[in-house]
Structure 1
Amino acid sequence: MDFTIASILVVDGITNGAIYALLGLAIVLVFAVTRIIFVPQGEFVAYGALTLALLQTGQVPGTVWLLLCLAAVAAAMELFTTWRQGRGVAAAFKSALRLVALPVSLAFITAWAAPHQFPMGVQAVLTVGLVASFGPLIYRVAFQSLADASTLVLLIVSVGVHFAMTGLALLFFGAEGFRNPSFWDARLALGGLTINGQAIIIAAATIALMVLLWLFFERSVYGKALRATAINRVGARLMGISSHAAGQMTLAMAGLIGALSGLLIGPTTTIFYDSGFLIGLKGFVAAVIGGLASYPAAAVGALFVGIVEAFASFWVSAFKEVVVFTLIIPVLLWRSITSPHSDEDH
Structure 2
Amino acid sequence: MALLDNSDDRLIPVIRFSTDGMRQSDAHEAWLQRDWPSANILFDTTPLVPFRTTSEAFQLGSLLIMHAKMGSQRWARDEKRIRRDDIDHVTFSVRVSGGARGEANGRSFHAATGSIVAVDLARPNSHDSDSSRTIQIAVPRAITEARLGRVEHLNGAIASSFGAGLVRSHILQLCSRIGAIPGNQQDRLADTVLDLLAVAYADSGVIAPRERGDAALQYKARQQIESRLGSPSLTVAALCKQMGFSRSTLYRLFHDEGGVQTFIRQRRLEAVRSELSDPAIRAPITEIAERWGFCDAAYLGRLFRESYGMTPGEARNQALEASRS
Q: Which has the higher helix share?
A: 1
What TM-score do you get using the length of structure 1 for normalisation? 0.28
Structure holding more strand per residue: 2
Q: Which has the higher contact order (CA 8 A, sep 6+)?
A: 1
Q: TM-score, normalised by structure 2?
A: 0.29
